[in-house]
A and B are shown apart, each in its own frame.
Chain A
Amino acid sequence: MSNEEEFQSIMDEFRDAKKNASLFCKGASERGDVVIGSFCQYAPTEIIRAAGFYNVILCGFNYDPAVPLAETELPANLCPLIKSSYGNILGKTCPFAFYSDLIVGETTCDGKKKMYEMLQELKQMHVIHLPNVPDKERSMEGWESELHRFKEALEERFNVKITDEQLKNTIKTLNKERSYNARMYELGKLDPPAMTGVQMRNVLTAEYFMLDEKNKAVKSERMLELAKQLWDEGKGPYKKDEHPVRILVSGAGLDGVLDKTINVIEELGAAIVCYEGCCGIMNMRRPIDENDPDPIHAIADKYLEVPCAVMSPNARRFEQFRNVLDEWKVDGVISITVHACSPFDIESRALEDICNENDMPFLHVRTDYSPGDEGQVRTRIEAFIEMLQAKKNG
């Protein structure tokens, strides 16, 4: 198999990961293995996996049939991610929720909190109390004790013991997994980038659903190696003398609007070189301290730094955002937020201010999972890219 073919076959495996994961979960469930569903970057995967459980993601990214169904119980003007997630569980259209023995939620935004309260009637739930102030002095103690509670709840419910040793091992494994993502983002630093933003997105989403951790590690490592090799040989996604305009994408709920946004950006000739947000570079770059004698403390310390807009005030996110603009030699920023997501919508304004200070072109796209605005969203993105191209190519 040539390098190109091998790279392609890994990408195909990533693409199919979610499909295959539902079969995997079915098997796991039949074997009596425990599957834990979660929604958010704040869910402490380390603790779940240290217990030997599988962790799957339940965020809904589809409109039909989930959103219309959810709207029979939830208000229509609610964030589509929340509606879609709830609708998929209500209508049993999410296999991962179906096979989950327990669902973990965190008190992030109001919509999610209230949705979790309703979910309690449909599934076994454990809600972790997440502080809203990311300041360690003020919040660390409570947060850490919430993680202890969560660990104890798992132990009790499933009759297992989660040792420090196990936690420390899982911390190492997950640090490694994050480092794959961080290294993938590094490939976006090259000019032209060695991976497209669409490819990066596929990998990121896929990795949540690659439940066989050994296979995931092997494939991720090999994919990174191959991407760099292909780039060196001039066989990357762009020709060597091509210099597409470089976009940083920021926001939340993106996976439900990929076709309208991410795919359109690259179809129009721009390159997404990095992502900012909870699955973005900053979260992947920051490992958990492996030398901390208290693993729960180490986990808590990292998770409080997730750059999510539910935190207030969110100075850390803005500082990191500034750095990314610089490091990735970004030509323009596109902030994508979904309707009714107040936290990210409002913080988008702060990102815009930072961009203005740095003379960095900025576009805020507000959209939804529902169809109907593809044309308008496309026009905005297209005009923005034309503007950047005119600036870059004189």
Chain B
Amino acid sequence: MVGALAVLAVVLILWQILPGALNVPRYVIPPLSEVLVALTDPVAFPRYVQNAAATMTEVGLGLLIGVVLGLALAITLTQLPRVYGIVFPYIVAIESIPKVAIAPLFVIWFGFGLPSKVVVVVLLAFFPVLVNTIHGLRNVDRDLINLFRVNGASRMQIQVRLMIPAAMPQIFSGLELAVANAMIGAIVAEFVGAQQGLGVLILQAQGRMETPAVFALLIILSALGIFLNLFVRLARKWIITWERT
């Protein structure tokens, strides 16, 4: 931790000193101080907060829907081996498509407002949860399932008391990927066409060649991403108390 903070401090110091020392133009890489000024600008800051809230609404809604759908479909599919055999190749195929590329189409279909962004986020959050949860559910120890069956467990009991808890580590791996994907999805969807959001602000700042503002927005975006990731990892630690080796 101390080492990591030291590295951060060195990077920040170099960021402040190097652009001036190497005569890098301000519009290419501004020194840290100018970025901080842009970040804390009393006029701009409320706009940052407002638009960050818009982006996080897209991310939050999309994650919620995508995760619920991913979990539900994974649980359903693993209980229907026949259907699973037919559907799984398609899941693998779709998973390997760069799905953000579909974002422009969603803007055509669902407009410039919130829905098109949420749909992109759902699509990006859904697959990692689906694939990882399936993986977790299918790898539950056969003997444990047999143990439950021998003791007269119902299908519901097997799911709730065995399969889902046993798949928790993989479910959380899926969630971590989903969270990272969700941020990407929201920003790309905003780039493609939106009225608000951090992606819109980045494009606007870029259009005016306000590079310090672009960096300020990237910092906000990174902070939000790190916060979300941390949240998932804490939840994992809190829920999966048995994972320690």
Q: Do A and B bind each other?
A: no
> Which residue numbers of A lie inside 8 Å of B, CB to CB?
none
> Which residue numbers of B lie inside 8 Å of A, CB to CB?
none
